[in-house]
Structure 1
């Protein structure tokens, strides 16, 4: 496992050091981070089109990051991925993720989003990256609670269309040698293990359809996130280290009662302030040989982001497990060969 790294999306701002890539890299390095996850929708950090076209630009970008003692862990297209599939009920809300010229034009917006993912595949390849972070988008989310009753075949049709939109993108990532990692997240059609399996079946088990594991979103829907790793570890190629807590009460539970984040029973917290069992998670990922990055995604309804970032690097570093190269009881080993083994078994 590599890390700690930090997702920069929540820290980009108008004031130094948060308004330039150089400033953000210097700030992250001073906090003890070893990598940055770059949000490709932040044009002042990366020109995605140019990165897809120019190896010189990518070499310069990597050089700038490396000069601060950092590496790029992954590129992110969370906002663009969301726009690959949008139900009309969410058109106006999602328009804010697209360039101004495309707002109010769902078809053009969707085509732009697909192109952005294609560019991200090429840019990731030029940058020497092996994983990419994104969202799946959603055509079915407005029906996630089955009332009114879903028509027979609706879910199958929805996933067939989602797969149709994503298959060319996944093929582009395959050609680039990069895993496309969907963050399992509310608001996406890929929001739990069952929905991920539906998608995987619809894209014929595509080798580049993989998972960005974020335990906070699983805890908030009361899903067993440790068992999730047991089930899907072969597909987990990216990891957001994010904490959360779920404190149900007599007024509200998983659905949140339309309350603001600070008042919801389920809410995101800075690392160490929530309920996620990170010792269990890091142990599971070490057990299964996860060799990607551990990336802080900071979201908290209480703590200041700069404090969360400062605390995040040592938290991740202290949870990362250096894998042993020997068995703990090697000192008591007696050696073996087939003849010896048969004698121990009483066979000769």
Structure 2
């Protein structure tokens, strides 16, 4: 066991063109003032990082680390959810996903995918230059439109989709391996990797790649009705990152986990600020402590009710309150035998 590290904050949902959310130095200070010890960088946001420069220059990466440190936090890890999403896109999502990529590759599936895969390579190299060992991303989706088995589909459809995912991601995983960085897939609805079974399907096809890992986020499991505590028991060896995010599932006679195409505020399954949802973080943090999780506890704010600037400092304290300092004592030491144990056979009545 070991004491968990945190709290950290994922900056993705806080980036803005107004201060203090428009530069690394300003947002780092804001995070430190709000009780955070670390920040997770979104590698798509040029307000915080020049990805190409960070991939090429160790000096620039050191400068970024210095800016964070001067303002009271450390850069704990990085994330590329947008770029990862674009590595594998079913044609049904082409127009939608084009809004997430540069204009020069829009309308060109091949160019968009090549851009996204190159972005992941740069993320690996930048993480190495920053001295980091974990990176979070999405898998993208080829099979998601067919998640429900009706109309009946041939098994080869899903097999081919996951075979292709492995072909896309294995060279990227190899680059991450060369850089000494774990690539942690966030298991998320609308991604082809959205639960334990789909992760296993992919992991097996990558040859159980040593850098293929998981970014654990219980909020996505609560909304699916998945046992998010047992998930840790099953996959703790592959969990290398931890997004601390809350959610709730309140089914009614009108809607269940699919939530009837409703906006977030009206969904039966929706994300909430820390402490306002249904996630049993007492058990989650205990499990991570028990298994000796080495990463950071990073708050990812998503809520349809509370303002993020109010939620963030409360989230920092929430995480701090859930981190257990690992004991160096045994609670029943006071009743322990202090005598000679050489007479064990006599004690057992065997002599």
Fold shared by both chains (TM-score > 0.5): yes
Rounded Cα–Cα distance in structure 2 between residues aligned with 1:295 and 1:287 = 18
Aligned pairs for 1:135-150 within 5 A: 135-150=138-153
Residue aligning to 2:291: 288
Rounded Cα–Cα distance in structure 2 between residues aligned with 1:338 and 1:197 = 48
1:40 aligns with 2:43: yes
1:176: how far off? 1.0
Residue aligning to 2:223: 220
1:158: how far off? 1.1
Residue aligning to 1:310: 313
Unaligned runs of 5+ in 2: none
Match of 2:131 among 128, 133, 140: 128
Residue aligning to 2:10: 7
Task: After superposition, give the CA deviation of every residue in 1:262-289 in whole Å (9 maximum; x if it has no partner).
Answer: 0010111101111110101001111111
Unaligned runs of 5+ in 1: none
1:67 aligns with 2:58: no
1:103 aligns with 2:126: no
Match of 1:80 among 83, 95, 120: 83
Rounded Cα–Cα distance in structure 1 between residues aligned with 2:253 and 2:321 = 37
1:126: how far off? 1.1
In 2 relative to 1, CA 202–336 (structure 1 residues): closer, same or farther, beyond 3 Å? farther
Match of 2:202 among 199, 203, 207: 199
1:325 aligns with 2:316: no
Higher RCO, Cα 8 Å, sep 6+ = 2
Count of residues in Structure 1 that have an aligned counterpart in Structure 2: 348
Residue aligning to 1:238: 241
TM-score, normalised by the number of residues in structure 2: 0.96
Rounded Cα–Cα distance in structure 2 between residues aligned with 1:152 and 1:209 = 24
Rounded Cα–Cα distance in structure 2 between residues aligned with 1:325 and 1:134 = 36
Task: After superposition, give the CA deviation of every residue in 1:122-180 in whole Å (9 maximum; x if it has no partner).
Answer: 11111111110110111100001111112132211111110111001111111111111
Rounded Cα–Cα distance in structure 1 between residues aligned with 2:233 and 2:152 = 33
What is the root-mean-square deviation in Å for CA atoms of aligned residues?
Answer: 1.3
SS at match of 1:10: coil
Range 198-207 or range 321-330, more displaced? 321-330
Rounded Cα–Cα distance in structure 2 between residues aligned with 1:331 and 1:323 = 19
1:89 aligns with 2:92: yes
TM-score, normalised by the number of residues in structure 1: 0.97
